[in-house]
Structure formats: C-alpha cells, structure tokens
A and B are shown apart, each in its own frame.
Chain A
Amino acid sequence: MTDAPPTGANRIPTYCYQCVAGPDLLKVRVEDGVATEVQPNFDARDQAPSGGKVCVKAFGLIQKLYNPHRITTPMKRTNPRKGRDQDPGFVPIDWDEALDIIAGKIRQIHAEEPLDGSGYPRIAASFGGGGTPTYYMGTLPAFLGAIAPIDFGFGSGQGVKCYHSEHLYGEFWHRAFTVAPDTPECDYVLSFGFNVEASGGVCGVKRHADARDRGIRRVQIEPHLSITAACSAEWVPIRPKTDAAFLFALIHVLLHEQRQRLDLEFLKTRTGAPYLVAPNGFYLRDPETEKPLLFDLKRKRAVPFDTPDIDPALEGSFDLDGLEIGADDDRWLHRGARVTTAFGKLLDHMKPFTPLWAGRYCDVHHKIIRRIALEFLDHARVGETVEIEGRTLPYRPVAIVLGKTVNNGWGGYQCCWARTLMACLVGALEVPGGTLGTTVRLNRPATDRNLSVRPSPDGFIDYPMNPTDRDNWLAEPDVRNANRTLVPLVANSPWSQALGPTHLAWMQQQQGPEHWPQATPPDLWFVYRTNPAISFWDTNGIVDTIARFPFTVCFAYTRDETNHMADLLLPERTDLEGLQLIRIGGTKFIEQFWHYQGFALRQPVVEPEGDTRDFTWIATELARRCGVLEKYNRAINRGAAGVPLRGEHYDFSLATDRVHDVETIWDACCRAASAELTDGQEQQGLDYYREKGFRLSPFPRLKWYLTATMEDLGLRYELPYQERLFRIGTELGRRLHERGISWWDEQLEEYNPLPAMEDLPGIWEGALERNFHIDIDDYPFWLVTSRSMQYAWGGNVSIQLIREVAGNIRGHGGLVINAGKARELGLKDGDRVEIRSPLSATRGYVVTREGIRPDTLLLMGQFDHWATPLAKEFGMPSMNALTPMLLDLTDASGSGADLARVQITRLEETP
C-alpha cells in the first residue's frame, strides 16, 4: 500500500439499530476528531447476512450527531401552562439540578405509595420503535427495574402500528413473534401488504434480491403499489381490509378442490387436525388421563393423542364415549356422543368461502384467487425433504407473510390463523423454505426460540396465558391499558405491557369505561425515542392528554411535539456518542436469522457534543440519587444490560454497593458476552470490542426451524382448531360479566375455535357511523399508510439528508391518489386538498399515481409535525390526526388497524 486509502485511515466500528430489522454493523470515518462519513463494515461481510452494510437511515447519523437543532444541555420548563399553543419557556440547567429534581420526585413517590388510588403505578415510561430504544438507553432498564412498579402501557404506536396479531398468535402457535419466509430457500411468497423492501432492513432487501435472481415468485396483494409490490412478480390490488376473505378462499381451494395433494402426514402427526371435537366445542378426552383423543384407523377406536403407532383419522364423525372439559373446568361425561375431527370441522367451516365469493368481496377476479391457490400448492413440493446439518427435514419452499394493518385490528386473527393454516396444509410451517418465526418476546429465553418450546399437557406448545380462572384472573388492572386483565394471550413478559391495548391507556384518560378503575395520569412520565403526539392516533387528543400530565421527563434529541409538554429535557449522547453492547445474529426480528450469533459494540466515535451524557452515566446517577444503587447493580448483574454477568463458568459481577463508571460496566458486559459465547473460555473486554466492533460464534441453521425441536418433543402445532382460545375467551367473558362489564363483548366474540368470517370493512363503516353520526357515503375513500424505508422507526425527521433523499420516492410529498380518480375529480399534481375524516381534518398536496386503487388514498409515514425542527416545515399530512381511537375498532388482542375513511376537498391554495 502507498498512502492511506481515500476511504479514510481512521474508521471506527459501531452499530445502527434505528429500526427493528437491524442491528447492522457499520464504520464511521473520523478525520481530525470529526465524524465525516458512514461506511459499511466489510469486516463482517462473510458473517452478516447484510454483507456488513447499513441502509439509508444510518447515513443520516453524521447529521444527527452535529445537527445544530440538538438539545445539548438539560433544560427546565418555566411556563407551568402546557399546550400546543404555549411556549414552554425552556431554560438551561445543570445536570445536578435536573437529576435531583427527578430523584426527589421518585423518592417522594416511593415514600408515599408507588400505586395511586386506582391501583395504577404513579411512574410511567414510554419508549418507541419495537424495542430499539433499549439498545440506546444503556443501563436505564436496570434503573427502571429498581424503581418499579412502572406503567409502560402508554403506547406510541405499539399495538396499532406493529404486526400485532402476528406477535400474539404467531408466538402462541409457533413461537413466531415475527414471521418471515425462509427467503434463502423459498420459491413462492404470497405477501399480503408486507412491505419487506421498505421495512425488512438490509437483510430483507438483500435476501429478497438474491431470491429474485434465483427466480422466486412473489405476489404482492395490497391496495397500492408499494415498494415491495414494485419488486414483486405480480401486484394484486385488493380492496382494503378484505385480505381475510382472500385467504379463506385460498384455504377453500386447497381443502375442497385439492385435498389429496395436501401434506396429510404433517396434518396427522404435527397438528391438532385429527383431535376429536365433542358436542360443546371442546376436545373429547380420555376420562382417566384427560388426554385429548384421536380416532385410530388401525385400531378402529379412540386413543389418546400420544399413543404410538397410530393412523389417526383426519376426517369423519364418530359416536364415542369420553370426557369433555370446558371453561372453568366444566365437565361433561359423554356416552355415544357424536364427535367430529377438528379437520372435519374445518372442512365444514370453510365450505362457503369460494373464490367466487371472495372475488366479489375483495374486488379481485375469482380466477386470480384460484390460480394463486394452485400456484402455492404447485410450489409447495409436498413430500420432498432436504438435509440440514445432518438431519432430514421436509422441504416446502412456499410462504405467506402479512403486513401491518392486515395484521392489526379486526381481521388480524382471521388472517394470522389462515396464513398459519395454509402453511400447515402443505407442511410448510417451520421447515426449510417455508414460513418461519424469527423471534420470541413473550416467552423465555428470548435469545432462543427452540429453547422456549415447552410441551403442554395436550401435546401442543405450552403458552403462558394470563389466567382467566376465578381465583387467578387479574380483576383489577395493574396498568392503565389493562393488558393482563383483558388479553390473556399477551402473557406477562417485559414486553407484555407494550402489546396490550395501548390505545386504551390514552382513551381512558379522556373517558373510562363502566365498572373500571378511575383513569389517572401518571405523576411522573419518562419518554425516550418516541413521539406519541405524532405517532399514535387522534394526535390532537393525545396532545391535550399529555398536556395534563403533571410531570414529564423527556430524554430529548431535538424539540418535538411530545417534549413540547415536558417539564425536563435531558440530552443523552446519541447513536455515535454512547457506549453499549447489543446481541446480534442468531434469529431476531424480521429476516435477521444468521449463521452466527454474538455481540456488537456501539461506541463513541468522537467527543460528545455539548453537555450531553452517556445514558449509562445518567442511569447510574439516578440510581445513586434515588437510593436504589444496590438494586440497580443487581439488575445489571442479572442481565439488565443485555448479558448476565455471571454464568456457569465465569463471574464478572459488579460490586453492588458502589457506583461504577460507564466503562467499567460495559467492560464487564463485554467480558461476560465473550465468556457466554465460548463457555467461559475467552473473556475479551471493552478494548477488544472497541477495536473489532463485534464478536461472533457459529449459530446452527437447524435452529432457524422449530421442526427438530417439535419432533424431538413429539409436539403438534395447535391448528386448525383453537380449543385453548375458545376456553380462555369463554372464561374471560364470564369474569367480565361477573363484574358487570359488557363493553368488551364484541372482543369476546373473536374467541372462536374456528375464526368467523365477518364483513370487516363494514365494521369500520358501522363504527364510524355510530360514533360520529355521519353517513359513511360522505367519506368515500379508504385512507391507508405505508412505511417509508428512509424514515421508518428512525426518529430522523429532523435530518436534512434523509428528507432530501426520501424526496426521490414518490409519496413523501403528499396525498397519493389514483391518477384516473384525480382526473375525475378535477385534481392534478400539486393541488392543495383538505383531507377530512369523521374525527378531524388535515391538509396536503396531491400526488397522482397509477399504482393505487381508485377507492383508496395513501399517506406515507408519520408526519404532521408542528414543533420538530425541519420537519415542521414539510407541510406533509399524516393519517394519525384523522384516525380515531374507538373501542368498537379494537379487536380481542387489543389492537386496531391503521385505516380511516375520508373525503377530500380541493383548496384554493398554491404550493
């Protein structure tokens, strides 16, 4: 080599986890102490599925670091009045004053009573972006654990802007908090609005590009031609919120036209299809062992499901004796009762849903639906196998993925069930090429899906439902969104609060439902990397609610719409300034499944800006000042910073009685991480990670799939019949009714053992007419949204670079409308329009496109800022201001869909 390369002599490794599809590894070029350029980290080229690259969002990090709009010193509000129209009057203060104010409040709350009169925690905290803030907040989780209880239920989009039904039902059925095709092996993907090219991160984009090169056929079914539809073999413009009907018709074709071509062996041995269903809708059981029964064609009699050497009947009805156990341990001892296999029930259930019926409903020609069903089956290769790491597994290269909105609110259950059932019908669940789960969040350990699989007494995967029996049901909600009370499926993990009905917490601040604890605002609210005043629904209402919160502490990057109402702003060191370790590889969100697993370090690449502080320093200081240092250190030792410091062969535990500096804490974490990866053989510390950036060890591909674990444990997927959900739903209904609560009755109806088909668009139309006393015909357009790869999850709207490059993608400039429809209405590109929903109105510029249904409008991303620097000048509307929070539009899982009905009116304004 001659001189230093033009790419720079000094390049510092770190990570980007601005979106859940990461983390991705990168390097930052530093010249004379100034960060000038983000580059891929090609040191990880051969190990990371991303090839060591980062997406467009990471390139905004340099501007994020030096943004002149940054808040770089703690600030205190001087205007006690709060509201959008109020100047907060923020004035700089020093860190001592800021931290003492917070510690004083926490000490006072703990000295009095941490729960308020309604039984809700007086301290609340909201974080954004699918858990990503955790990997920027250093040891704050340890501090929060030390000052519990905390209400994490004030959502900022969780539950309504995630893949909510998939999170709950996916994890229930196959430990699939998120679902992905086995893209490297898959040949045929049906994507119902899953926008992987915008939200699948670098792994997703690269893998799907490779798959297109291989010849994968992906059919994108959604109302507008998204980025992903553009990269697909076919776009099917379906009527909004009718995906369930399309999926039901696919199942109909497979069951009633192609039954003999299905993977009958998989259905018999790996699912609950042969379980016998008794007259009251619960399984017929052996009276002695209480095990569910199957009808064995070899022995011509009913036998427990785990009897060896059987040939269970998939179809048929039988007159049999047995025990049926219902909700609350109701019992029926049957003699010669007529029972039917679950599969037989399914056949009857799906009979009406023909492609002709669905075609009319979805506004898609029935021949297209039938053709797609047959293509799916043709590509499934039923009967083929492949060897993975010495083990023979089924090979089924077909998958179905579901996008946001398809996955949220009413219809989410039907779609998730249908998608998972489609995989079961051809044996493509959790096998090479098929539909995979990629992470768990409600079960433990979160680092290994396979280890989280435990057997249930009925032969399925066990699940930690919140109890619904009389003795153990949590009748009084412990947090304001009542997740454990209303949603048994949400379980009770650190993620459960964020997956409950998070809009319920906001709704109740305005008006609580009958027979329910009085809604109360939190006395102290922490906010980090989130902006619910922009990112949830009914944003005008949320702003009013936040303004009533007595004391809000925002860890603030710039001023924004939420921290406009804050009492304290605390400036942490941002992405390129802070120190933290993150787990990488294995299997994680979306398409993050690797051949390696390990850890990566985020480290300061330059000196920090202003009087900002590392988050771990902030957390430690708060712990000290609150008098919870010992608890805080213990939490770190247990793994609150991402890795337990003590293992079987190593112990890097911190002394619990003293303050440790930031480097000491992360050095211990680094050593424990290396030891964990090597069974205690190695213990590289912070210096190693600072230099190398990451440390990996191999991760077996066999663990991408649950099949080996399921086979080894002799377990079945609980499909198609949902006896457990039917039982808990019945019990939940009884519990609520015993307390006189009937406002959750519509949600209770969703607990069907076989999901009922409903007029899903009609639910929205009816709810809006009832609640707003409008004629739905006056609001002729469906308004939908779509992720922007440039912005999604990034919190980067104040970054000029991102704004500039995002402008190259149509839709970032305004309201997307079908070009023909626009002509019909006399609208053209750039026209200013008012977009009015039954709730409120906003304004934007017209963007005409051919790739959208004439009855649908699109607003990308989440904008409508009025306080965030730069973003407040965009003039870009958002559907969030237009979408109401309604109980009627909340499903049983506590989720709602990003969907609105609107009218548009041309305004006499020029751009």
Chain B
Amino acid sequence: MSVPRFWRRLKNLYNLIGTHCKKCGGFFYPPRNMCPKCRRNGVIVPFKFKGAGEVVTFTIVHSAAKDYAKLTPYILAIIKLDEGPRLTSQVICSHEDIHIGMKVKSAFRKLGEESDRGMIYYGTKFIPVES
C-alpha cells in the first residue's frame, strides 16, 4: 500500500480509533463516516476502542501475498470487539491454542515491510488475554 494511503490511516491502525454514531449508538471499526443505519441523519464522531474482544473465526494462512510471505504460517482472524464491531486482524499465539471464542486484546505490532530499506508498516494485532 502506498505511503500516503497508509499514513492517512495511522491513527486508526495504531490506536484502534474508529467512529461512533451519536444518533443511533452504533460503533464502527473500521471507521465509517456514513452511518449505515441513519445515513445522512447520523452524527459521526471519532471513538477509541478499548481493544478487548473475542475470536469469531480464524484460519492459519500458509500461502500469502508477497509482502506477507515472510510471516507464514500466520493466524488470520475475525475479532468481535466488546463494543460490537468486527474486524479482520492477526492473532499472535500458538497455533494449538487459537480457537473460536478465545478472549483477545489489541497489541501494537509490525504488519510488514516493503524491503530491507523500505517503509515498515505498524498496526494493531491481537494477543490472548491471559487467564
């Protein structure tokens, strides 16, 4: 992804900042600036998510696109945040432990890099909540 495109999303990717509709109470991550329920009548404001959630479903990716090939095999998951929205991210844990319903929390991690000297991309992944 190009630098400007990534840069524009830094606060969302680094700090799990999405949006909230003050009219209907909906929470959005990834952020939306049009509420799907209220549409033009919605009142959208930024919202920082706590980062707690659970695994809805997951896979272990063995064959990835070029920028992610070094990471394989990695756990890709859909996480439901406690505030309601679902997102796609990676879970950092043992492949034996990952399961549907696992409680997780957000963590600041490296997403990838363009080359040895290129941009390094950071963002939010998830780790298990220690029981």
Do A and B interact with each other, yes or no?
Answer: no
Q: Which B residues are closer than 8 A to A by beta carbons?
A: none
Q: Which A residues are closer than 8 A to B by beta carbons?
A: none
